[in-house]
Structure 1
Amino acid sequence: MDTYTFATSRQIDFPVCVRINTLEGKQLSFPYSILLKHPEIRHVGSVQNTNSELYVTAQLWAESKPLGVSMQTPHTFFKNSRTWNKWLELPVLVKDCPSSSQVAITVWDISACPENGSIDHAVPFGGTTIPLFDEDGTLRKGRQKCKVYRRKAADGQSPSRTPHIPPPKRRKANEQPPPPIPEEEELERLEQLFKKHEMNDIPQNDWLDQLVFQNVGKKARDVEQAARKRSSVNRPPKRKSAEMISAGLKDTVNGYGDVDADTISDEDKDDDERFTLYVDFPRWDFPVIFEDYGYEPSKMMKEFSSTPSASAVGAKPPPEVRYGPGIAPGTSVVDDEDYPVVQIFDPEQFQKENPCESKHRRLVRSDRNAFSDSDQKPNAKMRDELNEILSYGPTQELSAQDKDVIWTFRRHLSREKRALTKVVKATDFTNPNEVRQLVELIPRWAKIDVDAALELLGPTYDNPVVRAYAVDRLRQAGDAELQLYLLQLVQALKFEKYESTEEGLPASSLAKFLIDRAANNFMLGNYLHWFLMVECVDQSTDTSAANRAVFARVEYYFMVELEKRDPSLRKTLLRQGEMITILSSISKEIRFSRANRLQKIELLKKTLADPKNELVKIEPPIPLALDPEVQVCGVYPDEANVFKSSLSPLYLSLKIANAAEGSSASTPRTQTHGKYPIIFKTGDDLRQDQLVIQIITLMNNLLLKENLDLKLTPYRILATSPSAGAVQFIPSTALSVISAKYKGSVLAYLRANNPDASGPLGVRKETMDTYIRSCAGYCVITYILGVGDRHLDNLLLQPSGHFFHIDFGFILGRDPKPFAPLIKLCKEMVEGLGGTTSPQYAQFKQFCFTAYTTLRKSSSLVLNLFSLMVQSSVTDIRLMEEQMGGMGGAVGKVRERFNLDVSEEEAVRALDQVLADSVNAVFGVVIDRLHEFVQGWRA
């Protein structure tokens, strides 16, 4: 479970509850002279007995309107104090409460003489109103102290006249604030400690706590009595206190409300009788922050948001409007007490732009500025400015000035392949003249690179001519190169526009291009089929029905094309689906079985050997969906196994019918005597791991093109559904096992498998070189991708020295462990290199720096691939987009690790510092030991 520090009110599907605890305060008695003048007062319950039966009602209010009916405490007989300790459940859920919600709590007294013969014998003893959310928008929890306003019903208006914390008294202009009273400050401090004690933040001691409570209660009574004396001394003489209270009570009983201002003020009454009501709100494990509903935009806003200017990244914020004094709504955010500021929706903000900017752009881009637009050539200063703009990465937005400069020299830049994407960004697609000029210019442009073509297929480019040009550039890429980008190209299909009534697919569309290439190459066709099928059956809330329809449409036309060209290939894909379905059924049965692991292994072997499953012998052999170069002809049931995990992954040893000749060098081969081991699991979405392995394979190819072989191990992985998939099994040993068997020494493991007395550190030279290179490669790649949750169980090592990572459940900087280093360079890895002072460690760092600078040169390609995935269902990409949004999400995280804003030397120094911090990270060692303890306890 992901760590978090707060919850939102929208997640609380629980009614608003409040517990009425205790009413504290001293009630003054009435002189007989008052009772003789007003005999009806003697029949009020609280006048007859200071512990009379009172009841309490609570009602939720918002925006001066009640939300639901009020709830009432049962009648209770009090002996020594008025204590209810009763929970009231209000008929409103927390998730439905607005931020202005407040609970109006009224304590009711009983009167035998109602006005005008009314049958309602209840008169207000006092009331108080407490907001449900505090000033920071946090849901209140725990004990709350509320001031009770005598003889007033709780006022739920906004603002309330019965706030639970009274506002500070007004002072005259030259009046000095009263000096603080030490006793009252000490009492407030003790109340804060009581809250901590109640939340178990302070250890409890029953006998000592009782003594403290008694002394604090006595101190509170003394402070209250002293305050009453001070108020009586400072008050100007008007009428006797008891007489004023009786007059106020008489008016309340008769239904006339408060006493006239000439007779008595609210401050005088508050000073005479201080009553406090203690209430409790439910306690939550985490703070609950108010979250408003995401209301759907208006119809007008929907229409305007579909225009190109609405989808622009640099959309203007809604305007602010200042109202005059006294006419601002009560819910407005007050910036100035006299002139509050509120935000309103302007329907023209998505339709109309600043007329000054619009006219400026028309003047700048007008052909009148030059005799011939094609003859415009930049001077030396302008060339420097253009070169700087062309050096921008694909995620960097162009300013209005940049766009004007690029558009002015667009014909001059047509010889520069890097400039096409910038010119497309600078084009105003709402201007038909500019669109026409761009369409005429694109065919004459210099041939762009593949990374630029991928950028033009992204979500921000919807012009059909631009996208058709990008597809035409992809036609020049080979099948092997196209396979590296196939996962992102499938995601780019959702950015295509199709007419609902249109039959077939446009010849220039990306979908038609992929179908044509996949129908001629079974490797491409195999992966295209499974990539599409996973998206078609994805029923998660993150995938819209429209996108599923797009993928289903492309899959349908792909099957139609296969049926035309080679029906046997379509039957092969159907047989693969049948095999995957059987394995998924077996995996689910093993996973949900309540048997122990040994019993699960026996059940797996028995199920695989069952003739009805047709897995022992597959005739004719079929290409493995995970690796189509391998022809599978059966399964070895006796070699099957079940891993120790909550999802119970299956280990399967497949029979292969071919020798896998001509396989790609970037894919590790694990066939041993005609066997191909795989891991099949259900209950886990492998699309994120699939993406990471694809990026590692791509980066490995980029490094190999620069003659830098870092001995990476990009094993194959394929998600067959949103909750199932297969992984190529690489025989290797986890560093945790090596650490336990060889007493924490990776070097001892390498010496045991590759001894050579004349080699470096007693290890064969080729093996040590492989270990150094693979450690450097994975350190750099996992740093760029922000891979998290690294521990010794997902760091593997082969006897040949190949080091690699598995389990990519956390990427883009997310990590469930606190204070995790940016690069996992644990002491076991460094020990295998001979320590930080060895020549091997210096060589390791040099490989890291070389690989990092090499990959920085191809950063645009990697960033464009991630930009095509921003609307995918990959878990961490989706979370980043929700948290940060736009190019600042997943793409921004990767761009940040490339350090593109600094020079190459500064980027290398930054990486060197990260390596040093990772080697010296102490908390990572603690986490590894804790993880080992937890895994050992589970075992």
Structure 2
Amino acid sequence: MSTISSDYITADPKGLYVYSRDLHYNLKIKIGTLDGSLPTPSIDEILEKPLRRFSETDGNMLLEIFISCQLFSGGKPISMEARTRYKAFHQRFSWNEWLYLSMHISDLPRDTLLVCTLYSVNGPYDLLPLGGTSISVFGNNGKMRCGPHDLYVWPMVRGDGVVPSATPGKVVDDNFQMNRLAKLVKRHRSGRIRSVDWLDRLTFREVEMINEREKREMSAMFLMVDFPPISVDDREVTVVFYEDEADKRVECVVAPSIVKVLDGELDKPNVVERKHHILTRNVRSGAADRELKPNSNARNQLNAILAYPPDQTLTSEEQDLLWRYRFHLSQDKHALTKFITCVNWGIPTEKQQAEKLVLQWQPIDPGAALELLTSRFTNPFIRQYAVDRLATTTDDELLLYLLQLIQALRYEDATEIRAALIRVSNAPSSHARKESVSRSSLSEKVSDLVQPTSVTTKRDLATFLIERSCQNPKLANYFYWFLKAECEKNKQTAENNKLAQDGLPMDTFLIVMKRFSNALSQGDDLHKSTRMMLSRQLVFVDRIMKLLKEIARESGTRKRKIERLQGLLGNPDSELAKCFSYADPLPHPLDADVRIVGLRADNAWLFKSAQMPAKLTFVREDGTDYVTIFKLGDDLRQDQLVLQIISLMDKLLRQENLDLKLTPYRVIATGTDNGFVQFIDSTPLAEILATEGTIQNFFRKVAPSKTGANGIAGEVMENYVKSCAGYCVVTYLLGVGDRHLENLLLTKQGYLFHIDFGYILGRDPKPMPPAMKLNKEMVEAMGEDNFRIFCVQCYSAFLSLRRSANLILNLFSLMVDSSIADIALEPDKTVKKIQDKFRLDLNDEEAVLYLQNLIDVSLTAIMPAVVDTFRKFVQWVRP
């Protein structure tokens, strides 16, 4: 029991209380016992980890468990993690241990959550979460909790610190007496129920028996957590949360100057506006509107409307203006998406007019059609039109949008996709078809497999993607792995939330995956070979994962693990070495154009990192090396998205004859916690500055030239200046954070590029980050003349990408409902964050001045230099 000074005590008719602001010591809690039955591992888990079968209680020996506790507020941790000691349990799980949390009670926010997670120790570096629970430190009435609490433990998940929590410790169920009895015990503790000694002993014994019986009936785990009481002069007091100026008096205006009167017709439709809408969009007005031309004032208004960002809502007046001049605008392909937003698709006559006009409109670009596949457009006709426009793209162009198109499947009609799966499953097998079908009928054959049997040629987005992927093995490669990652993530989400997947939108990806598999299995030889390729790739990735998991369990230093890895791969008699030797070349999942036949065991390497990514060198058909990095334990989907956008930006810049020497290396997420990364032979800037002193010294060493300026080959310096400019603009637009000299890499050819995109959209773990990563060492390497060229290249790239801003915004609009980390934090603000970076409210001249100011501010920023110096010191003292 904690004691404080009586000076802070306040009397109240209901008892004594103290403000939380006056308690300047750490919060402590007592971890008591764990009751109930532990979750039993499934057959699949035992097969994957045989040691799990010893994790259950066996005789007098219990599982090795410890409990981790941490405070959360606003979904983020606010204290360090506190853990119980390791103990050997024999009869029951009982800790009876006080944990001190690294936060004063006076500093706790109102929404503070205590989050507890139970971990099972299965071996070195192998912790399995057995369950999690959470409870608010302050109750609904602002009082800090006191006394013991039985918290329901959600099995096989970590405690969740988000409000509302997915792992609440209080089970709200009127069928159990535990909740009712807990409230009565709380009333007795507070003195609202009179205490009778002999009767209390009998009652509490019966309460314990009822609680034990109901815990057994629930077949669940309950963790006893005790909050210590606060006392003054041997009198227990209540701790009440206190906010600054909470007791400030608010003057009440007795005679307000404005009187609010309820308008009963406020929520009813305006009959005048509805009548106006019907008259202006009447079918009879079409003949008059057909020859209508806008005057100078209307033309300016229309140009301003067409320049709006994709997600800006149009007013009723702007919608009427677009409708009035719809025939004039039909010659402008950029105006179609704005026109579609002003149509009321619920009115049959207006819908009929709009559909007829859309087919007569100047066809829009496939990139602009992506906007019509977002969640804002649900009309089947419009989504069908968007798919038809995407059908005009080449496979290489479609590959640039494939990641977002798979996300757009969320907004398709799940019922129709599910029904199509049933029709595909009942379709006749290709074995019954004639073998003499020509290659020209390939598209028709695939359409028969993936489309419903109908006389119409309509196809939804899922059908289109399956059809194109079946025709191109390279496209099928990326379509499969993108889709697999989404299926895996949705499965994990369903398991964590204890939701049945049947009937939920998350089933869409799994249905499309099954339709894709059926289409390949029922197709011709090309389709079956593609299906076989994907099956081989799946086995290939699975073997690498099992290999690295085995290496991770290996005890010893990193050097010993590397030797073990090379030994397993280099033993010609081992089955593992034979698994990575292919008589039939295998297209690599990272790049389907690369066909590998083997793996160089001597070149296998483990990086110095917590997850120890593996550097694997594969052998191509022609005998050359293809070096990749396989990461296990990291979600690469965010890096995959960023590199895809950088690849698209590089293509957009090249289309305007602006080659900024970007290096969009390849990344493929083969799951939610594993994937491949292309290895680029390069050196971090931190290492270059530490060993060579300056970047110019590095260039003079790797690319000397007697005729070049400063003794450096001119081509190398040109590559450096352009790549610096390109990545400064690209990382600024994407809001890439956590930039330091260790994730800026430089090749011997002068190409500078960024890696590690764990923070995007403005997030940054460092204080006061600059808009661009540009320090004096990077600028000094350019020289004065090249720095001016650098600035001009930055301005040109910024203006060029601003002209394609709608395409980039459309791509991010399709990603808002994905589970990518930095997007999922604030999905409703994702597009707005990117849009603000483009500064579409400025003209070109103002945009150049704005970017020039950003370069100046970033170059003179002090905090990045301090952070880089601190990181250098940490690396120096690290053993």
- For residues 67-109 of structure 1, what are the alpha-carbon distances to aligned partners after superposition, in whole Å with 9 as ceiling and x for unaligned? xxxxxxxxxxxxxxxxxxxxxxxx999639665445899xxxx
- For residues 549-604 of structure 1, what are the alpha-carbon distances to aligned partners after superposition, in whole Å with 9 as ceiling and x for unaligned? 11111111112222213211101100000000011122233335442111110121
Correspondence list, 1:875-890, <5 A? 875-881=821-827, 885=828, 889-890=829-830
Give 1:622's aligned amino acid. L
Give 1:920's aligned amino acid. T
Maintained 8 Å contact 1:537/1:721: yes
- Identify if the C-alpha distance between structure 1 residues 810 and 348 changes in structure 2 by more than 3 Å, giving closer, same or farther: farther
Which residue pairs with 2:565 in the alignment?
604
Which residue pairs with 1:842 in the alignment?
788
Question: Which of 749, 756, 761 is the matching residue for 2:705?
Answer: 756
Question: Which of 388, 400, 403 is the matching residue for 1:484?
Answer: 400
- Identify if the C-alpha distance between structure 1 residues 98 and 441 changes in structure 2 by more than 3 Å, giving closer, same or farther: farther
**Structure 1 residue 913: Cα displacement:** 0.6
Aligned length: 629
State the distance in 2 between where 1:833 and 1:415 align: 48
Maintained 8 Å contact 2:724/2:790: yes
1:453 counterpart = 2:369 = yes
**Structure 1 residue 620: Cα displacement:** 1.4
Maintained 8 Å contact 1:587/1:681: no
Give 1:857's aligned amino acid. R
Which residue pairs with 1:432 in the alignment?
348
- Identify if the C-alpha distance between structure 1 residues 530 and 336 changes in structure 2 by more than 3 Å, giving closer, same or farther: farther
1:638 counterpart = 2:602 = yes
Which residue pairs with 2:332 in the alignment?
416
Question: Which of 813, 821, 824 is the matching residue for 1:867?
Answer: 813
**Structure 1 residue 839: Cα displacement:** 0.3
State the distance in 1 between where 2:144 and 2:399 align: 62
Which residue pairs with 2:847 in the alignment?
907
Which residue pairs with 2:461 in the alignment?
510
1:655 counterpart = 2:619 = yes
**Structure 1 residue 802: Cα displacement:** 0.7
SS in structure 1 at match of 2:861? coil
- For residues 244-283 of structure 1, what are the alpha-carbon distances to aligned partners after superposition, in whole Å with 9 as ceiling and x for unaligned? xxxxxxxxxxxxxxxxxxxxxxxxxxxxxxx999958499
- Identify if the C-alpha distance between structure 1 residues 921 and 21 changes in structure 2 by more than 3 Å, giving closer, same or farther: closer
Which residue pairs with 1:83 in the alignment?
none
Which residue pairs with 1:717 in the alignment?
667
**Structure 1 residue 429: Cα displacement:** 2.3
- Identify if the C-alpha distance between structure 1 residues 24 and 384 changes in structure 2 by more than 3 Å, giving closer, same or farther: closer
Maintained 8 Å contact 2:702/2:748: yes
- For residues 20-50 of structure 1, what are the alpha-carbon distances to aligned partners after superposition, in whole Å with 9 as ceiling and x for unaligned? 6455799xxxxxxxxxxxxxxxxxxxxxxxx
Question: Which of 341, 358, 362 is the matching residue for 1:442?
Answer: 358
1:851 counterpart = 2:797 = yes
Correspondence list, 1:572-583, <5 A? 572-583=533-544
SS in structure 2 at match of 1:618? coil
Give 1:734's aligned amino acid. P
- Identify if the C-alpha distance between structure 1 residues 521 and 340 changes in structure 2 by more than 3 Å, giving closer, same or farther: farther
Correspondence list, 1:291-306, <5 A? none
State the distance in 2 between where 1:97 and 1:276 align: 23
Correspondence list, 1:456-467, <5 A? 456-467=372-383
Maintained 8 Å contact 2:662/2:727: yes
**Structure 1 residue 891: Cα displacement:** 0.9
Give 1:427's aligned amino acid. V
Which residue pairs with 2:552 in the alignment?
591
SS in structure 2 at match of 1:537? helix
Maintained 8 Å contact 1:634/1:655: yes
Give 2:510's aligned amino acid. A
- For residues 136-159 of structure 1, what are the alpha-carbon distances to aligned partners after superposition, in whole Å with 9 as ceiling and x for unaligned? xxxxxxxxxxxxxxxxx9999xxx
SS in structure 1 at match of 2:344? coil
**Structure 1 residue 933: Cα displacement:** 2.2
1:795 counterpart = 2:747 = no
State the distance in 1 between where 2:777 and 2:823 align: 31
State the distance in 2 between where 1:687 and 1:470 align: 26
Correspondence list, 1:760-839, <5 A? 760-834=709-783, 838-839=784-785
Identity of aligned residues (%): 40
SS in structure 2 at match of 1:638? strand
- Identify if the C-alpha distance between structure 1 residues 283 and 632 changes in structure 2 by more than 3 Å, giving closer, same or farther: farther
Give 2:512's aligned amino acid. V
Correspondence list, 1:56-455, <5 A? 95=136, 99-102=140-143, 281=239, 353-355=269-271, 357-366=273-282, 372-455=288-371
Question: Which of 623, 626, 638 is the matching residue for 2:587?
Answer: 623
Question: Which of 512, 515, 519 is the matching residue for 1:561?
Answer: 519
**Structure 1 residue 617: Cα displacement:** 1.4
Give 1:571's aligned amino acid. M
State the distance in 2 between where 1:429 and 1:619 align: 58
Give 1:783's aligned amino acid. Y
User: Which is worse superposed, 632-641 or 410-419?
Assistant: 410-419
Maintained 8 Å contact 1:783/1:823: yes
State the distance in 1 between where 2:823 and 2:773 align: 21
- Identify if the C-alpha distance between structure 1 residues 366 and 636 changes in structure 2 by more than 3 Å, giving closer, same or farther: same
State the distance in 2 between where 1:377 and 1:454 align: 30
**Structure 1 residue 641: Cα displacement:** 0.5
SS in structure 1 at match of 2:377? coil
Correspondence list, 1:41-60, <5 A? none
Maintained 8 Å contact 1:717/1:725: yes
State the distance in 2 between where 1:20 and 1:155 align: 20
- For residues 361-400 of structure 1, what are the alpha-carbon distances to aligned partners after superposition, in whole Å with 9 as ceiling and x for unaligned? 3344345768634333322321221121112121222122
Maintained 8 Å contact 1:23/1:278: no
State the distance in 2 between where 1:617 and 1:348 align: 76
State the distance in 1 between where 2:795 and 2:234 align: 69
- Identify if the C-alpha distance between structure 1 residues 278 and 552 changes in structure 2 by more than 3 Å, giving closer, same or farther: closer
Question: Which of 682, 699, 719 is the matching residue for 2:632?
Answer: 682
SS in structure 2 at match of 1:489? helix
- Identify if the C-alpha distance between structure 1 residues 20 and 555 changes in structure 2 by more than 3 Å, giving closer, same or farther: same
User: Which structure has the bigger radius of gyration?
Assistant: 1
Question: Which of 869, 887, 892 is the matching residue for 2:832?
Answer: 892
Gaps of 5+ in 2: 20-113, 115-132, 147-188, 193-232, 425-450, 453-457
TM-score using structure 1 length:
0.62
State the distance in 1 between where 2:137 and 2:277 align: 48
State the distance in 2 between where 1:872 and 1:476 align: 27
- For residues 602-655 of structure 1, what are the alpha-carbon distances to aligned partners after superposition, in whole Å with 9 as ceiling and x for unaligned? 121123235322344122111001011111111111110100000100011111
**Structure 1 residue 335: Cα displacement:** 8.2
Give 2:706's aligned amino acid. A
Which residue pairs with 2:486 in the alignment?
535
Which residue pairs with 2:679 in the alignment?
729
State the distance in 2 between where 1:390 and 1:900 align: 12
State the distance in 2 between where 1:841 and 1:93 align: 55
- Identify if the C-alpha distance between structure 1 residues 598 and 904 changes in structure 2 by more than 3 Å, giving closer, same or farther: same
State the distance in 2 between where 1:684 and 1:375 align: 60
State the distance in 1 between where 2:284 and 2:353 align: 16
Q: CA RMSD in A?
A: 3.8
Maintained 8 Å contact 2:409/2:461: yes
Maintained 8 Å contact 1:493/1:510: yes
TM-score using structure 2 length:
0.66
State the distance in 1 between where 2:570 and 2:268 align: 70
Gaps of 5+ in 1: 1-17, 27-54, 61-90, 106-152, 157-274, 291-332, 659-672
Maintained 8 Å contact 2:823/2:830: yes
Question: Which of 725, 730, 739 is the matching residue for 2:689?
Answer: 739
User: Which is worse superposed, 367-376 or 505-514?
Assistant: 367-376
**Structure 1 residue 354: Cα displacement:** 4.8
Give 1:916's aligned amino acid. D
